[in-house]
Structure 1
Amino acid sequence: MAKNELNIVPPQAASTHLAIVQLTRAGDLVQTLQAASEIKKEKPQIQLTLVARKHYSDSLKFLLETVFDNIVTIDTPKLFSSNLDNAFSELSQTLNLISKTPIDALVNLSFCKPSQYLCGLIKANHKLGPWIGSDNQDYISDKWSQLLYSTVTQGPLNPFHLVDLFKLIIGVKTKKDSNAQQMTPRKPVIVVHPFASTDRKRWKPHKWSEILYSISKNHEDHTIYVVGAPNESQLAQEIFSGQLIKTRKNIVNSVGKTKLKDVFERLTEARLFIGHDSLIGHLASLAKTKTMTLALGSVRPWETAPYGANNLVLSPRAKCFPCFPTEKCAQYICHSDIPYQVVTNFAGLMLKDKDLKLEIEKSTSPFLTGSCRIFLTEFHKKSNLIDLCEIDIKSGNTADILRPLYRMTWALLLGELEENREFPLLTKEAHGKLLSVMDGIKYVYELSEFGKKYSLSIVEEVAKDSPSLSKIKANSQKIDEIDKLLSLVKNSHPSLAPVIDYYNIARANLPGGNVVEIAQNSFFVYQDSALATSILNELIGKTLAEYKINLNQNSNTVSR
């Protein structure tokens, strides 16, 4: 099926049957659940189908069934069997189960090749997210999926939380979160999950031994449950091997001894959850439990922090954080940036029934927190999208400065959502880098204007009584040259990768059944690219102007 055979519209139009494909890990399934629950609230009559991997969905079925009407599981070993007959049989059965009821809208939130091929085979009136057609071409036709694909998978400049991106792709209307934390009475229970999917994302066991000992001693009236999967039992044994921790009677090692459903029920009664970026943290947010997340290694907390207001996130100030998952790192320098005393102190603050932000501001010691960053999650007052708000604000790197500017740009252009923000703090070095970024923006803007010009020339030439094929080809070649020049700009100005990659994907998915329609849509994409760079240029310009004003004021104060 070619993309022109489909009507690309938001899934709000799917008033009957919406199918969501999520073939990645369990944490992504919980985030998908959080997004899907919102569309179910808006449209209670809608039929929701989830397509997920059996390995991850079975343990979460008790939660998934509360939102999804149908759950189709894919047994990966059977589907990718070396026996082709068995593989085709499994695929055929899966497709029949998915399409048992005609699908109005199919949404792929997986962004992996197997999910794209699968979505290409599933029949649906509308398709969102990436899929591969019968012509073996990749298609991503909706804007928010194009943004996710061009930013989340490419680097640290995606400014949106994944749950918010999932909501925007599905078509959920942004509104204030009505579910406050800990609405039900809680027991004196703390749940700790000291593990993560990779070594770079978790502390060594001895550090967790110190934290558990300290928290248990400071809060003897609380029971601390350490939870985890069976394959984390060995690490748990190392944590509990220390002599001091063995003296504490209020710490319970339940790693590998409970099912996920039992862990979730424990979270619903707990007053606090502490852990790294993991599935359990997402379950804690679903249980409306206060969470403290220690983000290390390749974790991008603005994308994956537990979704909800007033969740605490601690991350390193190391320049290499966050790293890319494929980057080699033997030292794990970022692991030493968060002192264990900060974790134990903040745990005490979170157990108080007081304003957490105010309590942290009053008790924060520069000696302890100088090497780490402290964030609280909250919903933006205007856009109602989740925000990671830094408490002890200091000047960040170029990515930290550009991320909120990109967010304001994309929110306005793609979602017609407005956000107001404070000017970021700049260093002299950051000021110089932003000036360089503006040079790159100028190139992208000029190339976008040329793209408009040549796209319009094709439309005008085709409209003539005797169009010149040579002129049409010449203009098409000019457009190809523009795309090559944009790639060069991206290499010299990597901070502009999001805007260049996004519009590259948009141009690769131009709708249209003939040359005129494609050229017209090419014109609109270049026009949007020029508008995006104009907005970004204005935001950076105002940031630089504010920096100069502050610099002059400080100079005048010193001279006096």
Structure 2
Amino acid sequence: MSAKPILILQMQRMGDLILSFPLFLWLQRQHPGHPLWVVGEPRFYEALLPLSPTATYFPWAAADQVRRTAFILCVNLSHERTAAALAGEVQAEEHIGPFQSADGVRRIHGRWQLYRTGLVHANRHNRFHWADLNALDCIPLPWIATTRWPEPRTSLGDRRRIGLFLGASEPAKRPNIRFWVDLTRELLHRDLRPILLGGPAERSVAATVQKQVGQHVLNLADRLTLAQIANLGQSLELLVTPDTGPMHLAAWTGLQVLNLSLGPVNPWETGPYQPGHFVLQARISCAGCWGCSASKSRQTQRCHEHFLPRRVAQLVHALAGSKGRSGDKPRTADGNLYISTRTSEGLYRLSRLLPDNISSSSREMLDEFWSLFWGGSFGLWDREKPRSAWQKLGHAYPALTEAFVVFLLDFHRQLRRAKDEAFWRQGPPMLRPLYSQAHLILQNDDFSRKSEQHVLTMTEELLHIAAQEKRP
């Protein structure tokens, strides 16, 4: 009798599918001999078949076959209601992710999947990457910690070849044509060889860039399959790209990335996952937003204005063009320059390279506290980690921690209004993680007494940590 397969429902975009690849590898290691089935969108997975871990892919049209099969595990990584409905019809020993029962009630199984759902419009202080969140409900943390990802390839034969991927899924997430024209010129001026890349949506953009630059620039937009782009990446020194599916493909296949993180994306969540890649982000308070709240009268979002072609070209030259010749390292950047690394527990982390002479901001320290609090609450590490982070935050920003305690006490007092939707929309930004997670915990269990006790316990634990500075 053959072993029961594992089912993954991943019906999101290409980038989401590629960020599921680490989970595929971990599941195959955890359940040897159990085939991996993936239900996804053919327009995304078909192009990735040569690059994917071993798996059998099914389109939505094959859902009947999925319903007739018994699985050892079903993991739903999609937020589509149709995916939740399919998960509810699947026979599996364990379910993780959104699940819709026969009576139409939708719930989320798995505390990390519940946490991720709670990040919608409340992710300002999140520091957990999507690829890690995909796995934490079903893969032991020590297995993640012992995984070693190859370093990206560098110092190739011709270090001047720089890929420019021009597109992203939304206009707000990609630079405009003027930026690409000026960047291409600046790279050529520095004796680098930019190559224009993209899919069908970037064909006209690439043609315009090529025409306006006025020099011979290799334009391969809409001329290569994803597998061919991956093969081309074997000879590129660096790929400059917004947050997009091909960026994740480049990181997966070992091509070093400089991610221009602009628009409504948070690089802590969807930056290049493997270690050794670079992320450039505007140094403004709203960077990493879920959705831009700038005035509609503005022609561009504020973060776009911080990406200057000349400065980006200088950074590219320092990261790739001069590597191995003069030994130059980037000395300056208009924004925060990070490199993707790992925590001691093996989870994704962005380590700041530039500027290297400033202390952590209040937001960064609050980000760190919240990530350590959730990790401690969900059993990843002991409770001393968030306590230590809170002490550091209090010493650096005492006024902030005092305000935090005031807001937290007010939240605790008003929990009796839990079913009032207006209550959940009033939380201050520093407490949005608590408001969002607590609301979702209550909704997920129909505001039961058990869920109310869960929220109370969570709040009291936060109060216990936050009050420690006040104790003698």
User: Which amino acid in 2 is paired with 1:40?
Assistant: Q
Q: Which residue of 2 aligns with 1:85?
A: none
CA deviation profile, 1:109-155 (whole Å, cap 9, x unmatched):
11222222222222222111112111211211311011001114544
Name the CA distance, whole Å, in 1 between partners of 2:106 and 2:249.
Answer: 33
Q: Which residue of 2 aligns with 1:273?
A: 239
User: Which amino acid in 1 is paired with 2:58?
Assistant: V
The one of 278, 292, 304 aligned to 1:335: 304
Q: Is the partner of 1:531 in helix, strand or coil?
A: helix
1:377 aligns with 2:343: no
Structure 1 residue runs of 5 or longer lacking an equivalent are 1-14, 75-89, 449-480, 543-560
Q: Which residue of 1 aligns with 2:406?
A: 439
User: Which amino acid in 2 is paired with 1:144?
Assistant: W
The one of 373, 376, 390 aligned to 1:412: 376
1:67 aligns with 2:25: no
> After the TM superposition, which residues 522-537 of structure 1 pair with which residues of structure 2 at under 5 Å, given as runs?
522-535=452-465, 537=466
1:113 aligns with 2:81: yes
CA deviation profile, 1:341-389 (whole Å, cap 9, x unmatched):
33222222222557xx9923xx22xxxx4x52211111012x2111112
Q: Indicate conservation of the 8 Å contact 1:182/1:290, yes or no.
A: yes
Q: Is the partner of 1:317 in helix, strand or coil?
A: coil
Name the CA distance, whole Å, in 2 between partners of 1:384 and 1:406.
Answer: 18
TM-fit CA distance, 1:207: 1.7
Name the CA distance, whole Å, in 2 between partners of 1:267 and 1:42.
Answer: 31
Query: CA 1:41/1:344 → structure 2, altered by over 3 Å: closer, same or farther?
Result: farther
CA deviation profile, 1:442-483 (whole Å, cap 9, x unmatched):
2345667xxxxxxxxxxxxxxxxxxxxxxxxxxxxxxxx352
> After the TM superposition, which residues 250-261 of structure 1 pair with which residues of structure 2 at under 5 Å, given as runs?
251-261=217-227
Q: Is the partner of 1:224 in helix, strand or coil?
A: strand
CA deviation profile, 1:196-249 (whole Å, cap 9, x unmatched):
2222212121221222222234245xx43211011211111221122xx3324x
Name the CA distance, whole Å, in 1 between partners of 2:100 and 2:457.
Answer: 27
TM-fit CA distance, 1:294: 0.6
> After the TM superposition, which residues 268-347 of structure 1 pair with which residues of structure 2 at under 5 Å, given as runs?
268-325=234-291, 327=293, 328=296, 330-347=299-316
TM-fit CA distance, 1:45: 2.4
The one of 460, 473, 493 aligned to 2:428: 493
Q: Is the partner of 1:491 in helix, strand or coil?
A: coil
User: Which amino acid in 1 is paired with 2:311?
Assistant: V
Q: Indicate conservation of the 8 Å contact 1:17/1:105, yes or no.
A: yes
Q: If the length of structure 2 is used for normalisation, what is the TM-score? A: 0.85
Q: Indicate conservation of the 8 Å contact 2:264/2:291, yes or no.
A: yes
Q: Which residue of 2 aligns with 1:387?
A: 349
TM-fit CA distance, 1:489: 6.8
Q: Tell me which structure has the larger Cα radius of gyration.
A: 1
1:350 aligns with 2:319: yes
1:204 aligns with 2:204: no
Q: Indicate conservation of the 8 Å contact 1:225/1:253, yes or no.
A: yes
User: Which amino acid in 2 is paired with 1:282?
Assistant: H
The one of 124, 133, 136 aligned to 1:168: 136
User: Which amino acid in 2 is paired with 1:111?
Assistant: H
The one of 111, 114, 127 aligned to 1:159: 127
Name the CA distance, whole Å, in 1 between partners of 2:348 and 2:463.
Answer: 24
Name the CA distance, whole Å, in 1 between partners of 2:8 and 2:183.
Answer: 40
User: Which amino acid in 2 is paired with 1:436?
Assistant: A
Q: Indicate conservation of the 8 Å contact 2:264/2:292, yes or no.
A: no
User: Which amino acid in 1 is paired with 2:184?
Assistant: L
TM-fit CA distance, 1:63: 2.2
Q: Indicate conservation of the 8 Å contact 1:378/1:387, yes or no.
A: yes
Q: Indicate conservation of the 8 Å contact 2:424/2:436, yes or no.
A: no
TM-fit CA distance, 1:490: 5.6
1:218 aligns with 2:190: yes
Q: Is the partner of 1:408 in helix, strand or coil?
A: helix
TM-fit CA distance, 1:257: 0.9
The one of 403, 422, 431 aligned to 2:367: 403
Q: If the length of structure 1 is used for normalisation, what is the TM-score? A: 0.73
Q: Which residue of 2 aligns with 1:79?
A: none
Query: CA 1:205/1:386 → structure 2, altered by over 3 Å: closer, same or farther?
Result: same
Name the CA distance, whole Å, in 1 between partners of 2:393 and 2:209.
Answer: 40
Name the CA distance, whole Å, in 1 between partners of 2:428 and 2:88.
Answer: 35
Name the CA distance, whole Å, in 1 between partners of 2:464 and 2:435.
Answer: 13
Q: Is the partner of 1:375 in helix, strand or coil?
A: strand
The one of 164, 172, 197 aligned to 1:192: 164
1:44 aligns with 2:32: yes
Q: Indicate conservation of the 8 Å contact 1:312/1:375, yes or no.
A: yes
Query: CA 1:132/1:303 → structure 2, altered by over 3 Å: closer, same or farther?
Result: same
User: Which amino acid in 2 is paired with 1:412?
Assistant: G
Name the CA distance, whole Å, in 2 between partners of 1:525 and 1:421.
Answer: 22
Q: Percent identity?
A: 19
Name the CA distance, whole Å, in 2 between partners of 1:293 and 1:279.
Answer: 12
The one of 114, 118, 134 aligned to 1:146: 114
Q: Indicate conservation of the 8 Å contact 2:263/2:292, yes or no.
A: no
Query: CA 1:395/1:194 → structure 2, altered by over 3 Å: closer, same or farther?
Result: farther
CA deviation profile, 1:74-128 (whole Å, cap 9, x unmatched):
2xxxxxxxxxxxxxxx5xxx33322454111111111222222222222222111
Query: CA 1:122/1:151 → structure 2, altered by over 3 Å: closer, same or farther?
Result: same
User: Which amino acid in 1 is paired with 2:351?
Assistant: C
Q: Indicate conservation of the 8 Å contact 1:176/1:379, yes or no.
A: no
Structure 2 residue runs of 5 or longer lacking an equivalent are none
1:237 aligns with 2:224: no
User: Which amino acid in 2 is paired with 1:272?
Assistant: L
Query: CA 1:532/1:118 → structure 2, altered by over 3 Å: closer, same or farther?
Result: farther
Q: Is the partner of 1:314 in helix, strand or coil?
A: strand
TM-fit CA distance, 1:321: 2.9
Name the CA distance, whole Å, in 2 between partners of 1:186 and 1:422.
Answer: 45
TM-fit CA distance, 1:263: 0.7
Query: CA 1:316/1:538 → structure 2, altered by over 3 Å: closer, same or farther?
Result: farther
Q: Indicate conservation of the 8 Å contact 2:120/2:290, yes or no.
A: no
Q: State the structure with bigger RCO (CA 8 A, min sep 6), 1 or 2.
A: 2
Q: Which residue of 1 aligns with 2:90?
A: 122
TM-fit CA distance, 1:510: 4.3
Name the CA distance, whole Å, in 2 between partners of 1:272 and 1:282.
Answer: 13
